Amino acid sequence: MTFNELGLSPELLEGISRLGFESPTPVQAQVIPRLLDNKGDVVALAQTGTGKTAAFGLPILTMLTRDERSPQALVLCPTRELCVQITRDMQAFASCTKGISILAVYGGTPIDGQLRALKRGVHVIVGTPGRMLDIMRRKRVDLSGIERVILDEADEMLNMGFQEDLEAILAGVPDSAHTLLFSATMPRQVAAIAKNYMDHPEEITVGQRNAGAENVSHECYVVHQRDRYLALKRICDYYPDMYAIVFCRTRQDTQGIADWLIRDGYSADAIHGDLSQAQRDRVMQKFRTRSIQMLVATDVAARGLDVNDLTHVINFNLPDDLNSYTHRSGRTGRAGKSGVSVVIVNMRERGKVKRIQKMIGTTFNFRNVPSGYQICEAQLFSLVDRMRNVEIDHRQIDPYLPAINATLEGMPKEEIVKRFMALEFSNLLKYYSDEHHRGPGTQTERPAEPAKAPKTPTPRKQAEQTEHSVQTERPAPPQSPRDARMFINLGRLDGINPKKLGDLINRECGRKVPIRKVDIMRRYSFFEIAPEDAEPIMHMLSKARVGGRDVRVEPVDDQLKSKRTKRTERRVKAKAGKPGKRKPSKGKPGKAKTRKNSRKPR
């Protein structure tokens, strides 16, 4: 089947032909004829990346009355990125059709320009629920001529809490308007919308309900919680040509992981709700043009990313709502290309993986985290492939060849190859050749404990030994919710106060680390942090110097703290009037020992 057989207008056929589209996708082949028949409401279930925008956009553009400069179709979607993407796609479809006006309305930008555009007259409004409802309450838009309402990514809009907004908007459009609901999954809330606001809708399902994309393979790595970031780095190193989105659960996780990746030399950036619209646009533009290799994102921020050649989607954290996994994995394997969805979990999350497998009807491939040898081999072969495929400008290179050949004369071919490889990968080979970089072991492969546990090293020695396996995420609550109490060898004599201590930690760690219960003494201080931040802070601050001396941070923990820290803690407790062991005074019986320079009360 071709687009010519679907009944679209000649102008639209020319427009999509310029875009390179020849044959409709399965969802387009089923939905477009049904919408052009204009017989009633439709619920279409199809995965992200299957061409849903064209499925509803092309029929809408075909049926518009161009002489009437009033809204005839309303498209609602969950995020501003998706709103902008749908608008751009529909404008591209209509590039050869004169007189069609399509307007995007969304939050995060001034509303005045959008209101002026509405006053001039538009045919199609593409908007987010919050901004659209705001415009309706201001009575700045006339929806009496709306003939079709499209709810795109309906499940996501409901997950984001837009149910009341959607109901208010649907109540404001004519009863005669047809409602078209597009969704990747069919949870209970979506079914309720279909029941309450649609008239006997016809359901069109492409593939199985709640199924994952067919061109996506699913890989799972089970690691210790503390090794999650290290596993991410090894996976990235194993796929040197990766072009991926890394999904995190929260905005704080997203920015923190992106900062650590950038610090470790990876081409990455973050996108989340705390960024301004201008910042989000810059990041998205860099990602679309491949100026960055990895985009670390939250589920909400990634909506609307229409990139057809993503190689990987990496789930650094599983989503709270497992239905969102379908949306995540659907970011790759688009436009007929294959992709990989990677999941990094700990042992406690294996049950979630089983539920996802059952939900999407596929089996995950459980893999071991790549070893150092495997990573180096993959990197070397990637370099060889790039060398084979590089285009040579002989006019630029040939003049230098005689001098180069003279310099390399007498050196065997094998030696030349070895030296160029060593020059290119010396740091990588050294990094993975170190004995303590053998890699994060999986939960199922953890070696048995020896008969007698070795002596526990000091906290600073532990930080040095785990230099590249620090935990930089902020995952689900740890096994024990109690904060970690930390000692630092800086106090009032070093000019430290709570604010300066926080600034020092944030500066050295490259991200904002919440600290609590700060006690500043003359030569040392105590503070509390989340348990997962303890090891990264010890590692990063061990490289810092304040006032010409090295900074030392240790946990105040009965199993790990040093003897010096234990003595210090007892002295602090004694000064605060808390119970603790104190040496008896050596003064004469019955007389209190006093200091010569003690102040007299005023």
Q: Is the pLDDT score of 125 beyond 60?
A: yes
Q: Is the pLDDT score of 211 beyond 60?
A: no
CA distance 411 to 3: 61
**Higher pLDDT residue, 147 or 445?**
147
Q: Is the pLDDT score of 591 beyond 50?
A: no
Flag the least confident range among 21-25, 241-245, 589-593.
Answer: 589-593
- pLDDT band of residue 186 (cuts 50, 70, 90) is confident
Averaged pLDDT score across all residues of the chain: 80
Q: Is the pLDDT score of 505 beyond 60?
A: yes
What pLDDT, on the 0 to 100 scale, is given for residue 453?
36
385-413 pLDDT tens trace: 888 888 888 888 889 999 988 988 888 98
pTM for this prediction: 0.56
Q: Is the pLDDT score of 84 beyond 60?
A: yes
DSSP string, 67-118: T--S--EEEE-SSHHHHHHHHHHHHHHTTTSTT--EEEE-SSS-SHHHHHHH
What pLDDT, on the 0 to 100 scale, is given for residue 574?
64
**Higher pLDDT residue, 456 or 323?**
323
What pLDDT, on the 0 to 100 scale, is given for residue 573?
59
What pLDDT, on the 0 to 100 scale, is given for residue 507?
82
- pLDDT band of residue 475 (cuts 50, 70, 90) is very low
Q: Which residues belong to CATH 3.30.70.330 in the chain?
A: 459-575
Which superfamily is assigned to 3-205 in CATH? Answer: P-loop containing nucleotide triphosphate hydrolases (3.40.50.300)
- According to CATH, what is the number of the domain 216-371? 3.40.50.300
Flag the least confident range among 59-73, 239-253, 301-315, 497-511.
Answer: 301-315
What pLDDT, on the 0 to 100 scale, is given for residue 447?
31
Residue with tokens 């495997």: 374
Q: Hey, which bits of 436-531 come out as E strands?
A: 484-488, 516-520, 525-529
Flag the least confident range among 62-71, 99-108, 386-395.
Answer: 386-395
571-587 pLDDT tens trace: 655 655 555 444 454 44
Tokens encoding 133: 């409802």
Which superfamily is assigned to 459-575 in CATH? Answer: RRM (RNA recognition motif) domain (3.30.70.330)
Q: Do 436 and 214 form a contact (C-beta atoms < 8 A)?
A: no
By CB atoms closer than 10 A (0-12, 13-18, 19+), residue 36 is middle
Tokens encoding 291: 């100026």
Q: Which residues belong to CATH 3.40.50.300 in the chain?
A: 3-205, 216-371
Calculate what percentage of the chain has a pLDDT beyond 90: 25
**Higher pLDDT residue, 46 or 216?**
216
What pLDDT, on the 0 to 100 scale, is given for residue 142?
92
